[in-house]
Structures are given as C-alpha cells and as structure tokens.
C-alpha cells in the first residue's frame, strides 16, 4: 500500500459485486506461500470468502500412463471473486477510485503518463500520472505499452462449472500430454464442480473438449456446463521473462510475469511484489525502478527454481518415474 503523503493515488479497477462484473477465472486456492504473504500483513481472512469443502490432498492423474497418486496439500479453498472484492475493500479511503477499465497508456515527452479509461457506465475519462503501476494481470496493457517486443509464453485457461450432483467432491491435477503440455485441475466449490485447464492457444477449445472426453474413463462425469470462462495465463520459461517496469512505470503480479510455471500459483507473487513495490515507493530510493528490480531478484530466483522443477512434473518420462517412486505421495483408503 502506498501510504506516503507525497503521492495522490488513483486506483483504476472495474470489479464490482454486480452479476456482469469481470470475475477472474481461477482455481481460487490460497497456497501456503500466499497464506504467509497475508500473515506478513497481519491479515486474517473473513470466513464468508471460504467455500465448501476445504481440501487436504490432490489426486494427481497422468492420462498417458493411466496412473494416479495422492499428495497432501495445505491450500485454502476460496471464492475468488469474493476474495478480490475483500482485497478491494481494504484499499484506504484516501485512495481515489475509478470504476472502469484503462483503454490506453502513453507517455508524454515530460515523462508523465496519459491514461485513457472507460468507466463501467460507458463514460470516457483521461488521467495523467507521474507514475503508474500495472497490476493488470496476464493481459496487461501496461506491460504491452512498456515492452511491446517482449514475448512471454502464454496459455489459454478454460474453466467450466457443473452442478456437482451426487459425485464426491475432490481436488485433482491432471496431466495429458496429448492435449496440453501444461496441466488441468478440478475442484469443488459449494456444490459446483469446476474443471479447468491451461492449453496452448491454437485449438485450445478442441483440446479442452478432447481432454474432457478422455477423463470420462477416469470416472469424471461432466454433463452440461452451467458456465464456461476463459482467460490468458502466463507461464514464464526463465527469470528473464520477468519485467518489472521502467521510466516511472512499474509492473507487479502476473503483469510482471510473476507466476509459478510449475503450479500456475500466482496470488503469493502478486501480494509479495505489491508489498515490495510499496516499500520502495514509500522509501527514498533515488531510482525506484532500479531499486524495485533489485528487490525482485529473490522472486526471479524462485521462478528459476520452479522452472527447474517443471521437467519432473511435465516431462512424461520423468513424471512417470516420480509418480512410480511414490515419493511424497500418501496412501488414501476409500
Ligand atoms: C484458470 C486459472 C486458475 C488459477 N488458479 C490459481 C490458484 O488456485 N491459486 C493461485 O495462487 N493462483 C492461481 N492462478 C493464478 C492467479 O490467478 C494469478 O496469477 C493472480 O491472480 C495474479 O494476480 P494479479 O493481481 O497480478 O492479476 P489478476 O488477478 O489477473 O488481476 C488483474 C486485475 O486487473 C484488472 N484489469 C485488467 N486489465 C485492466 C485494465 N485495462 N484496466 C483496469 N483494470 C484492469 C482485472 O479486472 C483484474 O481485476 C490461476 C490462474 C488462472 C488463469
């Protein structure tokens, strides 16, 4: 949070409780790293953000080898939109708020930024700022403005919601190299069964449907979806994919490319990078861009460690060895 009185801060965000508000498609699982990030703010989570059931393990399925293992997990199962709205409610009163979307970013010769925005009601507004922070996720308009040439690996994440009916709720992680070189997941939330996966953009919908078909042999019953949602998700391949911003513009969270390429866990990276940037901007660094970039180095190293973990999860041969070995798996008695 930027608390320094040197700044007048404007938050541009269109999320509301209304039915047609943008809702981030997400697994809504708060990892231990994210829980720690909130603990460091001395924050506690209101219970109406949690959903039923809470989970203790993940059923990992490799469709290629038809093998399965269970692994213990310590996630909290959340309603992602309620979680986002709770976070928004924590924004201090003195921060001005504009409910809408930023359409374009430009930088003037004097170094200030010009943001053309459209309010949720349709009216256009133009804002000028000395500094901007892109916290605008995988499809960041600020990142595109700052680094138009820079490519980062991206996937299309597709999720469908189904009535749970009589199935026993479970959390699963699915690997199916025939349809995706990333992973898929299923999770239950308040009697809704959610199935989603990350797919290379080309033929993503076909591959999603093909994977659903293949999962029917594993006892998955899908039926007619209540809702289908999709968005982009980034998957960095190296610490150099992380871009922290320049010339008075900063990137945090997934806009910076900060997301685990192994698990697609991104909430802890978003919270931690926001905290680091606020510390830099509230301090007296002569070059805040350089100071922020330096403070992000441990997160780059963490991304590197996740990149190195990827072959053991995503290379079909290594994954089958890991799953066969049973290392860290738990025995589940039904
Ligand atoms: C399907 C899926 C499942 C996932 N599951 C998990 C999970 O279970 N646990 C986990 O930790 N991570 C998960 N992730 C990753 C996680 O959702 C993101 O990494 C994390 O939300 C990033 O936070 P952020 O604040 O950087 O961006 P976001 O959460 O994407 O937030 C960006 C915000 O910016 C707003 N915005 C975007 N563009 C504009 C604009 N032009 N003008 C104004 N506002 C704008 C959006 O409305 C949005 O509210 C998942 C990702 C996907 C796609």
Residues 6 or more apart in contact with residue 54 via CB below 8 angstroms = 76, 77
Q: How confident is the model at residue 129 (pLDDT cuts 50, 70, 90)?
A: very high
Q: How confident is the model at residue 5 (pLDDT cuts 50, 70, 90)?
A: confident
Instruction: Give the Cα separation of 35 and 51 in Å (integer).
Output: 16
C-alpha distance from residue 113 to each of 69, 108, 226 (Å): 51, 6, 42
Residue nearest to atom 31 of ligand 1 (CA): 137
Task: Verify whether ligand 1 is closer than 6 Å to residue 253 (CB atom).
Answer: yes
- The residues with which 174 forms a beta bridge, in sequence order, are 61, 184
CB 216 within 8 A of CB 222: yes
Residue nearest to atom 6 of ligand 1 (CA): 27
Q: What does the pLDDT read at residue 289?
A: 98
Q: Which atom from ligand 1 is nearest to the alpha carbon of 12?
A: 43
> In the structure encoding, which two tokens stand for residue 107, read together?
């930088």
CB 14 within 8 A of CB 101: yes
**Of 27, 55, 90, best ligand 1 pocket probe by most atoms within 8 Å of the beta carbon:** 27
314: left (phi over 0), alpha (psi -120 to 50) or beta: alpha
Q: Per-residue pLDDT tens for 254-312?
A: 999 999 999 999 999 999 999 999 999 999 999 999 999 999 999 999 999 999 999 99
Helix (H) / strand (E) element for 141: namely helix 141-146
Residue nearest to atom 27 of ligand 1 (CA): 137
C-alpha distance from residue 24 to each of 136, 231, 261 (Å): 11, 8, 19
The secondary structure of 250-297 as a DSSP string is: EE-GGGGT-S-TTT---HHHHHHHHHHHHHHHHTT-SSHHHHHHHHTH
Percent of the chain with pLDDT over 90: 92
Task: Verify whether ligand 1 is closer than 6 Å to residue 24 (CB atom).
Answer: yes
Residue nearest to atom 21 of ligand 1 (CA): 267
Architecture of domain 10-322: 3-Layer(bba) Sandwich (3.50)
Q: Considering only CA atoms, which of 34, 61, 311, 12 is closest in space to residue 185?
A: 61
Mean residue pLDDT across the chain:
95
304: left (phi over 0), alpha (psi -120 to 50) or beta: alpha
Expressed in angstroms and rounded, the spacing between residue 134 Cα and the centre of ligand 1 is 12
**Of 34, 155, 254, best ligand 1 pocket probe by most atoms within 8 Å of the beta carbon:** 254
Q: Per-residue pLDDT tens for 113-122?
A: 999 999 999 9
Is the pLDDT at 4 greater than 70? The verdict is: no
pTM recorded for the entire structure? 0.97
């Amino acid at each position: 949070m930027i608390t320094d009185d040197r700044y007048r801060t404007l938050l541009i965000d269109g999320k509301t409780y209304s039915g047609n508000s943008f809702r981030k498609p997400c697994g809504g699982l708060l990892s231990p790293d994210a829980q720690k990030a909130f603990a460091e703010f001395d924050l506690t989570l209101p219970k109406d953000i949690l959903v039923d059931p809470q989970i203790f393990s993940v059923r990992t399925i490799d469709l290629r080898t038809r093998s399965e293992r269970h692994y213990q997990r310590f996630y909290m199962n959340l309603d992602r939109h309620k979680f986002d709205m709770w976070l928004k409610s924590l924004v201090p009163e003195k921060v001005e708020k504009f409910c809408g979307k930023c359409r374009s970013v430009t930088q003037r010769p004097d170094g200030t930024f010009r943001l053309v925005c459209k309010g949720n009601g349709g009216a256009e507004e133009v804002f000028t700022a000395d500094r901007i922070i892109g916290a605008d996720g995988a499809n960041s308009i600020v990142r595109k403005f700052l680094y138009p040439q820079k490519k980062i690996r991206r996937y299309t994440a597709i999720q469908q919601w189904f009535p749970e009916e009589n199935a026993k709720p479970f959390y699963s992680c699915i690997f199916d190299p025939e349809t995706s070189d990333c992973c898929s997941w299923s999770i239950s939330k308040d009697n809704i069964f959610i199935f989603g996966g990350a797919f290379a953009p080309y033929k993503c919908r076909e591959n999603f449907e093909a994977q659903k078909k293949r999962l029917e042999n594993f006892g998955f019953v899908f039926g007619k979806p209540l809702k289908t949602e999709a968005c982009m998700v980034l998957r960095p391949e190296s610490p150099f994919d992380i871009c922290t911003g320049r010339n008075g513009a900063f990137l945090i969270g997934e806009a910076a490319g900060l997301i685990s390429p192994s698990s697609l866990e991104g909430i802890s990276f978003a919270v931690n990078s926001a905290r680091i940037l606020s510390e830099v901007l509230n301090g007296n660094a002569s070059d805040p861009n350089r100071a922020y970039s330096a403070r992000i180095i441990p997160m780059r190293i963490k991304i590197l460690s996740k990149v190195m973990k990827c072959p053991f999860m995503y290379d079909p041969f290594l994954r089958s060895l890991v799953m066969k070995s049973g290392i860290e798996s738990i025995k589940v008695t039904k």
